[in-house]
Chains A and B, each alone.
Chain A
Amino acid sequence: MSREAFNEYIKPFVVLVCICLVVSFLLAFTNSVTAPIIAENARLEAIRTRQKVLPGSLDFEEIDCDTQALDIDSAYRETNGMGYVITSSHVGYGGGEVTVTVGIDNDGKVVGISADVSSQTKGIGSKAGESSYLDKYMGISGSADGVDTIATATRSSTAVRQSVTAALNAFNTIKGGN
């Protein structure tokens, strides 16, 4: 093969592959360092959220249940029997998920709620995650039908309501099963 043909066809290919290989190793190494820290942060964040929605709670144990059938992400029981924390996600506006964490006491009453609306439009859909709206769910039990959605943020607030409904239904199923 002539030198010209090598420079024209082989060299670009070899150089690009080499760069990609070096880069892959570099990224794999960084990922191996940061991935455990990121996972640990997410775990601590989840614990903080659970403690926030169930005031006075300390430690939790995960409940082994069919999360898919219950339409929830996870369900936790407070180890001292204070109540339950159930997390559920539903698609809001524009395909983004709204994740809602609900604290429910042993009587089935909502005692705390927190919503991650970071995927929703700032200033519009994000209203569904503000305490002025979420507080309307406080104290309800059995069903979330009594709480209206927000007129200008229908899809985001509907996602919140669906999640609360799923959490309340899941609570009944879990409690009924005990």
Chain B
Amino acid sequence: MKEKMKILLNGMFKENPVLILALGCCSVLAVSVSVSGGLGMGAALTFVLVCSNVVISLLRNIIPSKVRIPCYIVVIATFVTLVEMLMEAYLKSLYDSLGVFLSLIVVNCIVLGRAEMFASKRGVADSFFDGLGMGIGYTMVITGMSVIRELFGSGTLLGYRIIPEGYQLGILTQAPGGFFLFGCAMAILVAAMAKKGKKFEPKMGCDGNCAACHSNCDDRKEAEAK
């Protein structure tokens, strides 16, 4: 159980998908304008992530490595389409506010990244907790950012007016404000971890298998120099 807890917390802090691994930033920047949108997006992504992780983990010994990416995409796209259909039927206003970013979960690098890096190698229970942890990590970031952006950018919270009209920082609702806040959030998490005495090493979810990887990281350069 301790092991599972570690996997869960890993996704929330140490390997937070958005702030540490820098995955899925596109939807975070775009949808974090309103709190309801941020929460809805977080819930949708967490559902897709948990379901696809579990299914891919179950099928990990059946799927031939040659066609693994198409298989992952089909599984992920299925759950995204399920969420889309259910949301359009039962939560129409949320569906409208998420717009195209809901369908774009299919190509969200967090989901595909966890399928490739984690679920395809680990057991079902571990994959479940990894998906849940990563999903919660994503939801925490997007909700946190949307609270600040909606409160100070539009003066409202979940649609209710908190700050009177005319005292907003309009830039927060625009793209530059999103980037600015995103950078600050990244810096705060890294600083907090540095303070706790943990050496900051972004691992990019790496398993040391350089042959199957296209990134040009420092570890790889070192290994190739040898």
Q: A15 contacts B92, CB within 8 Å?
A: no
For residue B88, CB closer than 8 A to chain A, the reply is yes
Does chain A have a CB within 8 A of B85?
yes
Chain B residues near A38 (CB-CB < 8 A): 85, 88-89
Contacts of B1 in A (CB 8 A): none
| CB atoms of B78 and A27 under 8 A apart | yes
- The stretch of A16-24, A81-89, A142-150 in contact with B is A16-24
Ordered by A's residue number, 6 sampled pairs between the chains whose C-beta atoms are within 8 Å are: A16-B67, A20-B74, A26-B78, A27-B78, A41-B89, A123-B174
Q: Say whether A34 faces chain B, with CB atoms less than 8 Å apart.
A: yes
Mark B residues whose CB is within 8 Å of A: 59, 62-64, 66-67, 70-71, 74-75, 78, 81-82, 85-86, 88-90, 92, 96, 99, 173-174
A-B contacts, CB under 8 A, total: 55
- The verdict on A19 contacting B71 (CB below 8 Å), with A26-B78, A27-B82 known, is yes
Q: Decide if the interface of chain A is mainly helix, strand, loop or mixed.
A: helix
* Complex interface bits, A101-138 against B, C-beta within 8 A gives 1, otherwise 0: 00000000000000000100001000000000000000
State whether A15 and B86 are in contact (beta carbons under 8 Å apart), knowing that A27-B78, A41-B92 are contacts in the complex: no
Most buried by B among A8, A11, A15, A20: A15
> Which of A15, A34, A37, A118 sits near B71, CB closer than 8 Å?
A15
Question: Interface size (A, Cβ < 8 Å)?
Answer: 23
Q: Which residues of B contact A41 (CB under 8 A)?
A: 88-89, 92
Give which listed residue, A19, A33, A118, contacts B96 with CB less than 8 A. Answer: A118
Q: Within the complex, what minimum Cβ distance (angstroms) separates B152 from chain A?
A: 17
Minimum distance in angstroms from B188 CB to a CB of chain A: 28
A34 and B75 contacting across the interface, CB-CB below 8 Å: no
Chain B: which residue is nearest A36 at the CB level?
B89
B81 touches A27 (CB 8 A): yes
**Docked complex Cα distance between A31 and B62 (Å):** 28
Q: Which single residue of chain A is at the shortest CB-CB distance from B65?
A: A12
The interface centre, meaning the residue of B59, B63, B96 with most chain A CB atoms within 10 A of its CB, is B63
Known: A41-B89, A118-B96. A23 touches B67 (CB 8 A): no
Q: A23-B75, A27-B82, A31-B85 given. 6 additional CB < 8 A pairs? A: A15-B67, A26-B82, A34-B86, A41-B89, A45-B92, A123-B174
Closest A residue to B97 by CB, please name it: A118
In the complex the two chains form, what is the Cα distance from A118 to B99 in whole Å?
9
- Complex CA gap A123/B170 in Å reads 11
Distance, CA A16 to CA B70, complexed state (A): 8
A68 at the interface (CB under 8 A from B): no
Cβ of A12 and Cβ of B66 under 8 Å apart?
yes
A7 within 8 A of B: yes
B64→A7 contact, CB < 8 A:
yes
Contacts of A30 in B (CB 8 A): 81-82, 85-86
A26 CB to nearest chain B CB (Å): 6
Using Cβ atoms and an 8 Å threshold, which residues of chain B touch A118? Answer: 96, 99
A11 CA to B62 CA in the complex, in Å?
Answer: 9
Cβ B88 vs Cβ A34 within 8 A: yes
List chain B residues, Cβ under 8 A from A16.
Answer: 67, 70-71, 74
* Bound form: Cα–Cα A30–B83 in Å: 10
**Distance A11 CA – B78 CA, assembled complex (angstroms):** 22
- Complex: chain A residue closest to B99, CB-CB: A118
